[in-house]
Amino acid sequence: MATSLLAFITAFAVVFLVELPDKTMVATLVLTTRYRAWPVFVGVVAAFAVQSVVAVAFGSAITLLPDRVVAAVVALLFGVGAFMLLKEGFSRDEDSADEAGTSTVVPFWRAALTSFGVLFAAEWGDASQLATAGITARYGAPLAVGLGAWFALVAVAGLAVLVGRKLAGRLPTHWIQRVAGVVFAVFGVVALTQVF
């Protein structure tokens, strides 16, 4: 019991600290400025649940992947994300309809699935996923580690959704997309430097 509690607390603390300034928080912020908050939160939380299970299931196996392969895939994902965000952010420059507080009205399921897909893809090879796998291997308590990691991810997602809703009411969406695109590009360059 003590080992499981220690594993839970360790997983929560490590994943929370790793995810707070991470790309997944930025992605959740951007999604919340584009769609209603509730479907974004549901999609993000579901993606985090699946990724936590994947990380725990693979345990230390994920950490055995060559660092350069993981870094190259992460750099590619960031690069594609940066391109898409910047392209959409600058293409909206001429649109007069893109005012502060404007969000896209889509069905709940579509916003939730989009959010799930974005965060599910962004979490592959992420530091929190690798940390979850390593903590699982160290403590041998997969359920406690998985729950600790998932609760930390949900807490970060909740913060991102709250901040995203506040930003959506004050800033034009295209500016948020531009800033997020630059942040994604920086993450991509950092990941690319780990390849070489």
- Measured CA to CA, the distance from residue 177 to residue 27 in angstroms comes to 10
Predicted TM-score (pTM) of this structure: 0.65
Q: Residue ranges per domain, the chain?
A: 1-84+106-170
79-96 mean pLDDT: 65
pLDDT tens track for 103-127? 557 788 888 998 898 888 877 767 7
The number of C-alpha atoms within 13 Å of 46 and in the hemisphere containing its C-beta is: 15
Instruction: State whether residue 35 is helix, strand or coil.
Output: coil
What average pLDDT does this structure show over 53-71? 68
119 vs 180: CA distance, rounded Å:
14
Burial of 154 (0-12, 13-18, 19+ CB in 10 A): middle
How far is C-alpha 43 from the chain's CA centre?
Answer: 11
